[in-house]
Amino acid sequence: MADLPCRQVVEVITSYLEGSLGWRERRRFEKHLRGCDACSRYLEQMRATLDVLGTVPVDTLSPEAQSTLLEAFRDLRH
C-alpha cells in the first residue's frame, strides 16, 4: 500500500476526525502518523485548536432585544 504523503494527510485530517474515512484510508492515515512526528504534531495542534474554539465567545441578542422579547411574552401569555 502506497504511503500517504504529509501533504495529503493534512487535507484528510477533518475527515479522519469526523470519522468519515473508509477503513482502508483510516489505516493508511494512522500508519503514516505512527511514523511521522510532524503530522502527529499537526494532528495534536488541530485537537488543541478545537479545544480553544470551544471557548470563543459568540454574539447573542442584545440585552435590550431580550427584554423586548420578555415584554412580548408577558403581553401574549398572560
Partner 1 sequence: MAGDAGELVAALRAGDEAAFARIVQDWSRPMLTLARGFVSTQASAEEVVQETWLAVLKGIDRFEGRSSLRTWVFRILVNTAKSRGVKEHRTLPWSSIAGDEAGPGLDPALFQSAGEPYPGHWRAAPSAWPEEVAVEGSVLAGEVRRELASVLETLPDRQRIVLTLRDVLGHSSEEVCELLGISQANQRVLLHRARTAARAGIAAYVEGS
Binding-site member from 1, 13, 28, 31 for partner 1 (CB under 8 A): 13
Residue type, 67: S
Give yes or no for residue 1 binding partner 1 (CB under 8 A): no
**Residues 24 to 53: which contact partner 1 by CB under 8 A?**
37-39, 41-42, 45-46, 48-53
C-alpha–C-alpha distance, residues 61 and 64, integer Å: 8
Residue type, 21: L
C-alpha–C-alpha distance, residues 23 and 9, integer Å: 15
The label of the residue with cell 408577558 reads: 74
Binding-site member from 22, 24, 34, 76 for partner 1 (CB under 8 A): 76
Radius of gyration of the chain (CA): 23
Residues that bind partner 1 (CB under 8 A): 5-8, 10-11, 13-15, 18, 20, 37-39, 41-42, 45-46, 48-62, 65-66, 68-70, 72-74, 76-78
